[in-house]
Amino acid sequence: MDIIGVSVPRIDAIDKVTGRAAYVGDLEVSGMLHGKILRSPLPHALITGIDTSEALKLPGVTAVLTRGDLEGLDPFYGAVVRDRPFIATDKVRYQGEPVAAAVAVDLATAEEALDLIQVEYEELPVVSDTLEALSGTGETVHDTNLCRESGYEWGDVADAFAKADHVFEDTFTFPMVYHYAMEPHAVIADYSNQGITVWSTAQHPFLVREDLARMFGFQLQQVRVVVPYLGGGYGSKSYTKLEPLVVALSKVAGRPVRVALTVEEAFKTIRRHSARCTVKTGVMNDGKFVARECLIHLDTGAYADNGPLVADRAAERVMGAYHWDNVKIKSYAVYTNSTPAGSFRSIGAPQAAWASESQVDIIADALGLDPLEIRLKNLVIKGEEFRPDRRPLDADPAAGLRLAAQAIGMNLDREPEDQDSELPIKIGRGIGCNLSGVGSSPTSTAIVRLHVDGTVTVFAGTTEIGQGSRGVLAQVASQELQVPLDQVGMVSSDTGIVPYDRSTGSSRSTTMMGLAVQGAAKEVKEQLLELGALHFDCPEEELSVNDGVVLRGTESVAYGTLIEEEFGGRAGELLGRGYVTPRMNNGRLRQGPAFWEVGIAAAQIEVDTDTGAIRIPHYVSVADVGVAINPQQCEGQDEGASMQGLGHTLFEEMVYEDGQLLNPNMVDYKVPTFADLPGDLESMMIENHDGPGPFGAKGLGEGGIVSAAPSVANALFQATGVRIKDLPLTPERVWRAIRDAKE
């Protein structure tokens, strides 16, 4: 029985298609009330007074939560720095920050109550530009505007630049973008003196549990975080978000409370870091890279969230997939008065790759080299220990890049693009490539239950965020335990039920939780062999398992029969545990990262030089997956990442003016739709069976977003000779750039 590499249908497909799938917004909890949040209209202000008395008089209002209700709890949280109160205390730091919240018998009454809450503010100057913010002369969002300073260096860049044939220096900007998960954040909280139960749209329920336990003074065993169906994450639901506020609401209301955000509120909850990135690269005449120096400023918004880690990762990832003898990187996460920025699919990488890979093409053009050729000359090769104290490269970016380039007709020996100068439509081809050492913490556990009818339940704390983890983990259990896939049920994110998993993100679940599930299945298998040895009265070595039976030569006995024999009738079950810890798994997971994820893209585009509009007839993404456990799911992940990348490449940007977010809605903030799909969107899988995960798999899902922007901008340059260093490549921006170039 072999189910690895089979594109079985999603196990949640029917529930989702028929509408049976219940999301947090669909759940009913006995006695549940409804909450709404009053948000600051000002980006930066002291709160000088809050009067809730009129709101509390409104019939149907149960409670109003303000900074006055924080006694006996710690309101501060944050993935790295605990700088964010779940409700404003002394001041507000961005437009949209929660200032108060009302609980009522229904949503309309709760909304009405918000209008009756009087808040007095004393306005403060707005911090909005990251460079100004660090100048040390103006207003500060917190005690300082510097959230994180990150960086590293080796070699001697100054010397190398001096000796280089050429030195290039370019500055690129990357916009603030919004994740746009279909389902905005929603939380139901049920607080009692004995514990907390939370139903939440949380990607990392175990980390939320940790925060809630600390903030509200409970033991871990008293806090239960349940994630029902979840409508997309992309990092927007990483770490703690809305949960503490709703728990506090339930505490003051004495009843379960639900708060479900609108899209506008989600825009004011979390976003991706905008960035300014200056890259200076020293190159020899033959195209050999000798030194790189980078300066990255990331706008982390009003609170740190995961910003410090994003700064670290952007610093790492701006090196690109290249070998460097001399490197000096500085990366800053900077506070401003805007929506806090945090995790977003491949943190820091699209910003870094945008700069790094755009500049590679600038260099190639200047030196008269082919963009593929200059990359192949400098790429890290498989097995190379190219960064100190890290796992050697376990992927082959050169092979992937050749594949991608070839797919869009960008071979090394190709003819230059034949542009008809009379036509407004210009054609161009571009590539991009980046490496991410995935931040997959090797901390997952799982339980497998084998029932007396031979069917299986897997407990795995990976959150199903639409990526298909339930199906893939079920395939792992099915294969390892040799139980048909349609007899494997999955129980996922519920900290009260499933054992610990650190998080769902960083392309980690197939690898880390996959190993935990495989380990748990193995432990059940061991017991089956023990019982089989009793059954056949033979040594275990004579036995094997296949398709639901233990085999001894031509004899076989069903798993269920062995359980019946052990438990004396149709009763009992076998249990297996799987652990992934840094120490375990023969040390395979000890040396970070767990694996290197390559993000390779190639785009063939058409630019209408009259309008600036870009169409993409052919787009290729290449993912090195080790083994594609479910190829269709892998492609789905990679295609989704590609499209999300094309979103920030072509359309997306959160626009602020005087600290006010101007476009927090799906009319003014444009995300790609099916009409924007490339004519041919191709996802190619490299399968070398060499990943650290189960059956040689490794993760994917992030690589696809990384190189979208540079591949398109590089194609745009090929098509028009215009180099744009700011995203998104809107028609207006492209048209202006073409016009400016003509002048």
List interacting residues with a copy of itself (CB under 8 A).
14-15, 20, 22, 26-30, 32, 192-195, 206, 210, 213, 219-222, 441-443, 445, 447, 449, 451-453, 455-457, 487-489, 491, 496-497, 499-500, 502, 566-573, 575, 577, 579, 581-583
Q: Is the CA virtual torsion 157, 162, 168, 174 positive or negative? A: positive
Q: Give the shortest CB-472-to-a copy of itself separation in angstroms.
A: 18
Whichever of 175 and 532 has its CB closer to a copy of itself, that residue is 532
Q: Which residues, 6 or more positions from 683, have their beta carbon under 8 angstroms from its beta carbon?
A: 620, 621, 622, 623, 634, 635, 638, 639, 642, 704
| Beta-bridge partners for 291 | 282, 326
User: Residue 466: which of 5, 18, 9, 12 has the closest Cα?
Assistant: 12
Whichever of 590 and 736 has its CB closer to a copy of itself, that residue is 590
Q: Give the shortest CB-677-to-a copy of itself separation in angstroms.
A: 31
Whichever of 185 and 204 has its CB closer to a copy of itself, that residue is 204
Q: Give the shortest CB-26-to-a copy of itself separation in angstroms.
A: 5
Q: Give the shortest CB-80-to-a copy of itself separation in angstroms.
A: 13
Whichever of 55 and 458 has its CB closer to a copy of itself, that residue is 458
Whichever of 524 and 625 has its CB closer to a copy of itself, that residue is 524
Distance CA 512, CA 517 (A): 9
Whichever of 155 and 572 has its CB closer to a copy of itself, that residue is 572
Distance CA 134, CA 148 (A): 11
Whichever of 576 and 704 has its CB closer to a copy of itself, that residue is 576
Whichever of 63 and 474 has its CB closer to a copy of itself, that residue is 474
Q: Give the shortest CB-580-to-a copy of itself separation in angstroms.
A: 9
Encoded tokens for 389: 């104290």
Q: Give the shortest CB-461-to-a copy of itself separation in angstroms.
A: 10
User: Residue 45: which of 75, 12, 90 has the closest Cα?
Assistant: 90
Q: Give the shortest CB-451-to-a copy of itself separation in angstroms.
A: 4
| Beta-bridge partners for 430 | 603
Whichever of 14 and 182 has its CB closer to a copy of itself, that residue is 14
Whichever of 566 and 608 has its CB closer to a copy of itself, that residue is 566
Distance CA 609, CA 423 (A): 9
Q: Which residues, 6 or more positions from 278, have their beta carbon under 8 angstroms from its beta carbon?
A: 169, 170, 171, 172, 294, 295, 296, 355
Whichever of 15 and 90 has its CB closer to a copy of itself, that residue is 15
Distance CA 238, CA 151 (A): 24
- Measured in residues, the chain has a length of 743
Q: Give the shortest CB-27-to-a copy of itself separation in angstroms.
A: 6
Q: Are 440 and 591 in contact (CB under 8 A)?
A: no
Q: Which residues, 6 or more positions from 596, have their beta carbon under 8 angstroms from its beta carbon?
A: 391, 393, 394, 395, 435, 436, 437, 438
How would you class 415 by CB atoms within 10 Å of its CB: exposed for 0-12, middle for 13-18, buried for 19 or more? exposed
Q: Give the shortest CB-218-to-a copy of itself separation in angstroms.
A: 9
Q: Are 643 and 672 in contact (CB under 8 A)?
A: yes
Q: Give the shortest CB-583-to-a copy of itself separation in angstroms.
A: 6
DSSP, collapsed to helix, strand or coil, labels residue 409 as: coil
Distance CA 728, CA 174 (A): 8
Sheet of 166-174, strand order: 146-154, 326-335, 289-301, 274-283, 166-174
Whichever of 195 and 392 has its CB closer to a copy of itself, that residue is 195
Whichever of 375 and 508 has its CB closer to a copy of itself, that residue is 508
Whichever of 456 and 708 has its CB closer to a copy of itself, that residue is 456
Which phi and psi angles does 711 have, rounded to 5°? -65, -40
Q: Give the shortest CB-740-to-a copy of itself separation in angstroms.
A: 51
User: Residue 514: which of 415, 594, 417 has the closest Cα?
Assistant: 594
Whichever of 258 and 375 has its CB closer to a copy of itself, that residue is 258
Distance CA 150, CA 275 (A): 14
Whichever of 177 and 212 has its CB closer to a copy of itself, that residue is 212
Which phi and psi angles does 109 have, rounded to 5°? -65, -40
Q: How many helices (H) and strands (E) does the chain have?
A: 19, 30
Q: Give the shortest CB-577-to-a copy of itself separation in angstroms.
A: 4
Q: What's the angle, vertex CA 589, arms to CA 586 and CA 591, rounded to 5?
A: 110
| Beta-bridge partners for 606 | 427, 615
DSSP, collapsed to helix, strand or coil, labels residue 377 as: helix
Indicate the residue type of 387: R
Q: Give the shortest CB-442-to-a copy of itself separation in angstroms.
A: 7
Q: Give the shortest CB-514-to-a copy of itself separation in angstroms.
A: 17
Whichever of 237 and 502 has its CB closer to a copy of itself, that residue is 502
Q: Are 672 and 647 in contact (CB under 8 A)?
A: yes
Task: Give the DSSP H or E segment for 398.
Answer: helix 397-407
Q: Give the shortest CB-116-to-a copy of itself separation in angstroms.
A: 29
Q: Give the shortest CB-560-to-a copy of itself separation in angstroms.
A: 9
Distance CA 170, CA 280 (A): 7
Q: Give the shortest CB-213-to-a copy of itself separation in angstroms.
A: 7
Q: Give the shortest CB-449-to-a copy of itself separation in angstroms.
A: 6
Distance CA 259, CA 211 (A): 19
Distance CA 735, CA 742 (A): 11
Q: Are 631 and 685 in contact (CB under 8 A)?
A: yes
User: Residue 698: which of 598, 563, 552, 577 has the closest Cα?
Assistant: 598
Neighbour-count burial for 143-155, b at 16+ CB within 10 Å, e otherwise? eebbbbebbeeee
Rounded to whole angstroms, what are the CA distances from 449 to 230, 349, 700?
Answer: 25, 39, 28
Indicate the residue type of 544: S
Encoded tokens for 659: 């600290």
Whichever of 91 and 451 has its CB closer to a copy of itself, that residue is 451
Distance CA 703, CA 725 (A): 21
